[in-house]
Amino acid sequence: AAMGVAETLLHTHDIAEGLGTTYEPDPALCEFVLTRIFPHVQPGPTPWQTLLWATGRGELPGRAPVTAWRWSNNLVIETDRLTLEGVTPAAATDLSTVGDGGFTWLEGGPVEGTRVGAGLVYKQYEDGVHRPEWGMFVLVRREDDRALGAMGFHGVPDGAGRVEVGYDLVEGARGHGYATEALRALSSWALGRDEVRTVVANVERGNTPSQRVLARAGFSQVAEDPEHLTYELGASGAR
């Protein structure tokens, strides 16, 4: 849908420009397109001008001219029982408040950790530092298309090739191996990238179930402090 809207807005602009006619669409449509298929573009205060700039059709103060552009569908990773669906800035905005992000959740979801993580995704987008593949994924059970939790990265890999992961599940989905299955898949995907050497997770000392998930997914404890335990998985340990 966002691609269709983009085509309509942009080519109407091109036609109007060729005819010497002024054209400016509803800013809400432009914002929809930007937050859905341009997640790597900082939004700015003027959605239409931002969309024109992002597609090489205009200029924005303080931003370099765009000579090549693309739109981006959200990344999807499949496991035996789950689909990990990348959360777009549009969905993150909804999830960070009281919405469902466009997903049908198991009872009790989304949980607070998912809403906090979604808020961080949108903040990164607003700051122009969001990279979709290093954001958050909603875990959707394939048998009934129900969302049961979220998992994702805290940001892009650092200079040493380390990337941190976090996750949570709706209470009714716990104890069925979903978190382990998703963590194995997401870690394997990350370690398959040239810029990643190690996937890291920090977990509270009292969170025994999460520690078991990490152990089952192949992570090893490498450090601790009074409140947290640190686990790591390197390329040689990926499954």
Report pLDDT digits (tens) over 158-188: 999 999 999 999 999 999 999 999 999 999 9
Q: If pLDDT is split at 50, 70 and 90, which confidence band does 128 have?
A: confident
- Of the candidates 31, 222, 235, the one whose C-alpha atom is nearest the C-alpha of residue 122 is 31
pLDDT at position 171, please? 93
Sheet with 82-86, strands from edge to edge, namely 76-78, 82-86, 136-141, 146-153, 162-169, 198-204, 228-234, 220-224
Report pLDDT digits (tens) over 197-223: 999 999 999 999 999 999 999 999 999
pLDDT higher than 90, residue 237: no
Annotated domain spans of the chain: 2-54, 76-237
Q: Which amino acid is at 79?
A: T
pLDDT higher than 50, residue 147: yes
67-11-130-66 Cα dihedral, nearest 10 degrees: 10
Tokens coding 157:
């890999």
Burial string for 179-205 (b: 16+ CB within 10 Å, else e) reads: bbbbbbbbbbbbbeeeebbbbbbbbee
Q: Which fold has domain 76-237?
A: Aminopeptidase (3.40.630)
First to last CA, the chain: 36
C-alpha span between 97 and 119 (Å, rounded): 8
Tokens coding 33:
């397109």
- Of the candidates 224, 164, 228, the one whose C-alpha atom is nearest the C-alpha of residue 199 is 164
